[in-house]
Chains A and B, each alone.
Chain A
Amino acid sequence: MRDFVSERARAIPPSGIRRFFDIAQTVEDVISLGVGEPDFVTPWCVCEASIYSIEQGSTAYTSNKGTPQLRDAVSRYLDTRFNTRYDAEEEIIVTCGVSEAADIAIRAVVDPGDEVLVAEPCYVSYTPCVALAGGVPVSVPCRAEDEFRLTADALAERITPRTKVLVANFPNNPTGGVMQEADWRGIVDLLVDHDLLLISDEVYAELTYDGGHFSPAKIPELRDRTITLNGFSKAFAMTGWRIGYLCAPPEIAAAALKIHQYVALCAPVMGQIAAYEALRIGEAEKDAMVREYRLRRNLFVDGLNKLGLSCHVPKGAFYAFPSVESTGMNDTEFAEALLREQHVAVVPGSVLGPSGAGHVRCAYAVSRDDLKEALSRMGTFLESIK
């Protein structure tokens, strides 16, 4: 028989973390700081609305681009919350999570051979999605000394005549870095002069702790050269519902919609109803979760620095990204030994991009008691390797 697996599928490197799953299976009582997902359950008012809609028989397909009700709500929400305006009919597509939104955004704009800049370290899906679209992913490093912001210098160095797109994710997974207005202003000229498109994944937009989120599409020069991606998973603790959305100028949205309708048809209706409810009445519970993340961040980052694992104070998302250089181990060795010996799961930074090397990602989306226990185990671990 032939080998049926395609060259493109074969070329996707195996997940750098598969091995860790296997080790985690063999140790007891793991405290996991490895999961990029809220530990909260979706606010009950949101679940209840979705359960009720199922009881009422809302189980059919929706419009490809999502229910008009939800698109309207998203449009109003983006306007009120981040001052960006997107037309509910022409410019917003509801997707199966931001993962799908990133994929169709990339496929809607990337041709074979196009170079796509990916600001890293970052969520792992952009690079394979670019490769699957035939594009050439190019890493743009964000560094600890810049608090993991994207700088014009790093960007300029990697732009070539083939460059078409920049993918950026702020607030950032894994670093917790954010880009404020001035930081974006610093790269506007580069994007405009080289006629580049920005794909901005803002799924952590609601999780900012010192100053609100700045959405780059708010800058007039960028408005029509930006695809904004966002969703409900992180802000409203709705990871399993799989609801995200893509916002783009009409021509790009129309192209992305063609792909979306063939790969997903529409996002799950139960999730769309839940998402609408989250925007309608979920704000107070969302704010309470954000306040709690901030407390956890304060507790955990303080603890890390006291242990000698130097960590900048992340201003967004729910990740701390300490350096493990002081231990003399690399990030993979550190993460593996910590898991085996003290049963604390963290993600080695190099899995999330070359600039992540020497750091580990710790998601502080677990209870404060678990964070304290994790810190105490990390302390024991650090003592043991001295």
Chain B
Amino acid sequence: MDEKNRILLQLLEENCRTPLSELAVLAEVSEEDVKDRIDRLEAAGAIRRYGAVVDWERAGDGNVAAVIELKVSPERDFGYDRIAERLTRFPQVRSLRLMTGIYDLQLLVAGPSMHEIARFVSEQIAPMDRIRETATHIIMKTYKENGTTFAEREEVDRLPYSF
């Protein structure tokens, strides 16, 4: 990958509200060039979306989330893709991955209550064709999300001056 693009992507991933002028200074390119590069990265789908990392707990709206493991019988010609495609359509499914190991698909599901997640799994997911087994793990606490640590650590005091 182009080094300047890598820097820009890292900066945007860290804070997508960084102004173009600042991105230009940081990446040592002109502002027009930054704009141009970002346009191209967006068009190519390298930048999928701009968003915030939210600590919902702290925002006062404690969502319930669960990791759900699915064992799935793959289909001839399609493997896991078709069933995965169906699962992505549920808004409750926040992320979906095909995994190596003892199960196949891993879902991150969020909902307003434990009850709502249980209902979603038992009524919507479990009965789907080709799903052989489900295991639901409720998330108890999030310590780090997308590289951002939620728990606050005390800063170590540094001296104001040194040589």
A-contacting residues, B111-163, CB 8 Å: 156, 158-163
Q: Which residues of A contact B7 (CB under 8 A)?
A: 291, 295
Contacts of A72 in B (CB 8 A): none
Contact between chains at A32 and B26 (CB < 8 Å): no
B27 to chain A, nearest CB (A): 8
User: Does any Cβ of A come within 8 Å of B28's Cβ?
Assistant: yes
User: Cβ of B26 and Cβ of A295 under 8 Å apart?
Assistant: yes
Q: Enumerate A272-316 residues with CB–CB distance to B below 8 Å.
A: 291, 295, 298-299, 302
Shortest distance between the CB of A2 and any CB in chain B (Å):
32
Q: Does B25 contact A (CB under 8 A)?
A: yes
Stretch at the interface among A34-42, A58-66, A184-192, A248-256: A34-42
Q: B161 near A123 (CB under 8 angstroms)?
A: no
B33 within 8 A of A: no
Residues of A within 8 Å of B26, CB to CB, are 295, 298-299
0/1 interface trace, chain B 17-30, chain A, CB 8 Å (1 if under): 00000100111100
Closest to A122 in B: B163
Question: Nearest CB to that of A32 among chain B residues?
Answer: B160
Any chain B CB within 8 A of the CB of A77? Answer: no
B160 touches A24 (CB 8 A): yes
Q: Tell me whether A4 is interfacial, beta carbon within 8 Å.
A: no
Q: Considering the chains assembled together, what is the distance between the CA atoms of A345 and B159 in angstroms?
A: 11
- Beyond A295-B26, A302-B25, whether A123 also contacts B158 by CB under 8 A is no
Q: Which of A35, A41, A291, A295 contacts B162 (CB 8 A)?
A: A35
Among B11, B22, B27, B161, contact of A17 (Cβ-Cβ < 8 Å): B161
In the complex formed, the residue of A with least CB distance to B156 is A41
Q: Determine whether the beta carbon of B161 is less than 8 Å from that of A37.
A: no
**Which residue of B156, B158, B160 has the most chain A CB atoms within 10 A of its CB atom?**
B160
The B36-64 residues at the A interface (CB cut-off 8 A) are: none
- Chief secondary structure at chain A's binding surface: mixed
Does A21 lie within 8 Å of B161, measured CB to CB? yes
Chain A residues contacting B162 (CB-CB under 8 Å) are 34-37
Question: Which one, B25, B158, B159, B163, contacts A299 given CB within 8 A?
Answer: B25
Q: Among B25, B158, B159, B163, which residue has its beta carbon within 8 angstroms of that of A352? A: B163
A34 touches B161 (CB 8 A): yes
The reply to whether A34 and B25 form a contact with Cβ atoms under 8 Å apart is no
User: Is the beta-carbon distance between A35 and B25 smaller than 8 angstroms?
Assistant: no
Asked if A124 contacts B161 (CB within 8 A), the reply is: no
Instruction: Tell whether, in the assembled complex, residue A124 and residue B158 are in contact, meaning their CB atoms are under 8 Å apart.
Output: no
- Please report the C-alpha to C-alpha distance between residue A298 and residue B160 in the assembled complex, in whole angstroms: 23
Interface check A125, CB cutoff 8 A = yes
- C-alpha gap A302/B11 in the complex (Å): 17
Residues of B within 8 A of A35 (CB): 158-162
Are A37 and B158 in contact, with the CB atoms below 8 A? yes
What sequence of 0s and 1s flags, for each residue 17-37 of chain A, a beta carbon within 8 Å of any chain B beta carbon?
100110010000010101111
Closest to A368 in B: B26
List B contacts of A123 (CB < 8 A). Answer: 163
Complex Cα distance A299/B21, Å?
10
Show the binding face of A for B, using Cβ within 8 Å: 17, 20-21, 24, 30, 32, 34-37, 39, 41, 123-125, 173, 291, 295, 298-299, 302, 345, 347, 352
**Besides the known contacts A35-B158, A124-B163, 7 further A-B residue pairs in the complex with CB atoms under 8 A apart:** A35-B159, A35-B162, A36-B163, A123-B163, A295-B7, A295-B26, A299-B22
Q: Could you list 12 A-B pairs, sorted by A, with CB under 8 Å? A: A32-B158, A35-B158, A35-B162, A36-B163, A39-B158, A41-B156, A123-B163, A173-B163, A295-B11, A298-B28, A299-B25, A352-B163
